[in-house]
C-alpha cells in the first residue's frame, strides 16, 4: 500500500503539482526581495512549500529508508539519505523552500531516469512482439495447431511460407529461404535445406518445411535474446550511479562538516546550509538528463540504444567496424551495372530477359531486377515452366528459350 502511494506521489502529474506549489512559495520571496508586498500569499492558510515537501519528500524518505533496510553493507548509505537529512534539517529551521527544493529536484531526476528506461524498453517490447505464439505440430500423421508452450523437444513441426518459425530446430524435409534479420541483421533471406538449423522468430519466406524441435520455450534463441536485452536494460549506466557511489563518503563528510560549522559559528542555519549545499542534486539531474537527450537524438536518426551503459561505453570507442548490409545502407537491393557477355545483346535486352524470367520470383534479388526493368519502362514477357531451386536460382521458359537466373 505504501509503495503504491509513493509511486503515485513520484509520478509526473504529482511532481508537476509539487513544482507549482514550490513556485508559489518562491514568487512571494522574489516580490519581497524587490520591495513589493505579495498580497496573494496571505490568502493561503499554509506555506505552499509544505505541499512540495509532502508530495516529493515522502517518496524520497521511503527510498532512503528502503535502502537502509534492504541494501547490503555500505550501499545502505545513498544520495537519497543525504538529501532526506538535508530536507528535515531545513524543515527544522523553518526554511521550507529549501526543503521542498531539494526533494523536488530529486523527484525530477527520478522521472528523467524513468523516461530514459521507458525509451530503451520500446525496443524490447518490439522484440517480444516478434515471439511466435503457435506452431503446426505433426503428430501421428495429423497436423494440429498448438501454442508454443505446448511444443516439446523432438516434436515434428511444419512451417508454411510466410509463417514464423516457432522454436529452434533442424530441417528434416523441404527447402526454403529464411529471413533471419531479427537474429543476425542479414537483409537477405538465407537458403536452408535438410539438416540446416533454423531459429525461433525467423520467417520462412518461400518453401514449406518440416523440422524437428531442438530448443523450446526459454531455451530458444529468441527468448535468450530477449533475456539478454532485459538484463542490459535493467543496468544503470556506471556514471548514473556516481551519486550513490559518492554517498558512502559524502554523507559522513557532510555531517561532520555541518556539525563543525554549527559548533564553531554557534549558528544552526549555517550547519543546515552545509547539508543543503552538499546535496548531490546536480549529479542526480545531470546524468539521466544527458542520457535521455542522447537516446532521443539517436532515435531520431534511426539508432536504437538499449541502455545507458551501452551509451557510456560507446563514448570510449575510437573504431567501428560495420559488416552487415542494412547497417549503413537501406537494405534495399538495386541493380548497379549491366554487363552482357555477348556483345550482340544490349544491356536493355539482357535486363528485359532477366526481369521476365524473375517475374514470378519472390526472391529479393529477383525483385531488384524487376524494379530496375520497370524504372526503364521495359515490357516483360510472360514466362512458362517457372521453377525455383533453393540456393541455385530460377529457371523459366520464354519464347521457347530456357533462361537460368
Q: Which residues are catalytic?
A: 323
**Coil vs helix vs strand at 326:** coil
Instruction: State which H helix or E strand residue 156 sits in.
Output: strand 156-159
**Looking at residue 145, what DSSP letter applies?**
E
Where residue 109 falls (left for φ over 0; alpha for ψ -120 to 50; beta otherwise) is: alpha
**Looking at residue 152, what DSSP letter applies?**
-
**Coil vs helix vs strand at 293:** helix
Q: Locate 15 and state its grid cell.
A: 511532481
CB 213 within 8 A of CB 39: no
CB 279 within 8 A of CB 102: yes
- Write the DSSP string, 51-104: HHHHHHHHHHHHHHHHHHHHS-GGGGS-HHHHHHHHHHHHHHTT-HHHHHHHHH
- Write the DSSP string, 342-395: STTS-HHHHHHHHHHHTTT--SHHHHHHHHHHHHTTPPPPPPEEEEEETTTEEE
Three-state secondary structure of 157-220: EEECCCCECCCEEEEEECCEEEECHHHHCCCCCEEECCCCEECCCCEECCCCEEEEEEECHHHC
C-beta neighbour count of 129 within 10 angstroms: 7
Picking from 188, 189, 203, 187, the residue whose alpha carbon sits closest to that of residue 327 is 187
Cα–Cα distance measured from residue 296 to residue 288, given in angstroms and rounded to the nearest whole number: 12
Tell the residue number behind the cell numbers 537527450, with chain if given. 293
Amino acid at each position: 500500500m505504501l509503495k503504491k502511494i509513493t509511486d503515485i506521489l513520484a509520478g509526473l502529474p504529482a511532481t508537476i503539482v509539487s513544482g507549482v506549489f514550490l513556485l508559489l512559495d518562491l514568487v512571494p520571496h522574489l516580490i519581497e526581495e524587490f520591495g513589493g508586498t505579495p498580497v496573494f500569499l496571505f490568502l493561503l492558510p499554509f506555506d505552499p512549500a509544505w505541499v512540495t515537501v509532502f508530495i516529493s519528500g515522502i517518496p524520497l524518505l521511503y527510498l532512503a529508508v528502503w535502502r537502509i533496510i534492504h541494501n547490503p553493507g555500505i550501499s545502505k548509505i545513498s544520495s537519497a539519505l543525504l538529501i532526506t537529512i538535508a530536507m528535515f534539517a531545513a524543515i527544522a529551521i523553518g526554511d521550507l523552500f529549501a526543503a521542498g527544493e531539494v526533494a523536488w529536484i530529486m523527484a525530477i531526476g527520478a522521472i528523467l531516469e524513468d523516461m530514459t528506461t521507458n525509451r530503451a524498453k520500446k525496443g524490447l517490447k518490439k522484440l517480444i512482439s516478434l515471439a511466435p505464439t503457435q506452431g503446426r505440430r505433426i503428430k501421428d500423421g495429423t497436423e494440429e495447431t498448438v501454442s508454443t508452450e505446448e511444443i516439446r523437444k523432438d516434436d515434428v513441426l511444419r512451417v508454411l511460407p510466410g509463417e514464423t518459425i516457432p522454436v529452434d530446430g533442424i530441417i528434416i524435409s523441404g527447402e526454403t529461404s529464411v529471413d533471419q534479420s531479427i537474429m543476425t541483421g542479414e537483409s537477405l533471406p538465407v537458403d536452408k535445406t535438410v539438416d540446416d538449423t533454423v531459429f525461433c522468430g525467423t520467417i520462412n519466406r518461400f518453401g514449406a518445411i518440416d523440422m524437428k524441435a531442438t530448443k523450446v520455450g526459454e531455451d530458444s534463441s529468441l527468448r535468450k535474446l530477449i533475456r539478454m536485452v532485459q538484463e542490459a536494460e535493467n543496468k544503470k549506466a556506471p556514471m548514473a550511479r556516481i551519486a550513490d557511489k559518492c554517498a558512502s563518503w559524502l554523507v559522513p563528510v557532510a555531517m561532520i562538516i555541518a556539525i563543525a560549522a554549527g559548533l564553531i559559528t554557534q549558528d544552526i542555519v549555517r550547519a543546515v546550509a552545509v547539508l543543503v549545499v552538499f546535496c548531490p542534486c546536480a549529479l542526480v539531474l545531470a546524468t539521466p538528463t544527458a542520457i535521455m537527450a542522447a537516446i532521443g537524438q539517436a532515435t531520431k536518426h534511426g539508432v536504437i540504444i538499449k541502455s545507458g551503459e551501452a551509451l557510456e561505453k560507446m563514448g570510449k570507442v575510437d573504431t567501428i567496424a560495420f559488416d552487415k548490409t542494412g547497417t549503413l545502407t537501406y537494405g534495399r537491393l538495386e541493380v548497379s551495372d549491366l554487363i552482357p557477355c555477348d556483345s550482340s545483346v544490349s544491356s536493355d535486352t539482357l535486363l528485359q530477359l532477366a526481369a521476365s524470367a524473375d517475374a514470378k520470383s519472390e526472391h529479393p534479388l529477383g525483385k531488384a531486377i524487376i524494379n530496375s526493368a520497370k524504372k526503364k519502362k521495359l515490357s516483360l514477357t510472360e514466362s512458362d515452366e517457372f521453377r525455383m531451386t533453393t540456393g541455385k536460382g530460377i529457371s523459366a521458359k520464354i519464347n521457347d528459350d530456357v533462361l537460368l537466373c
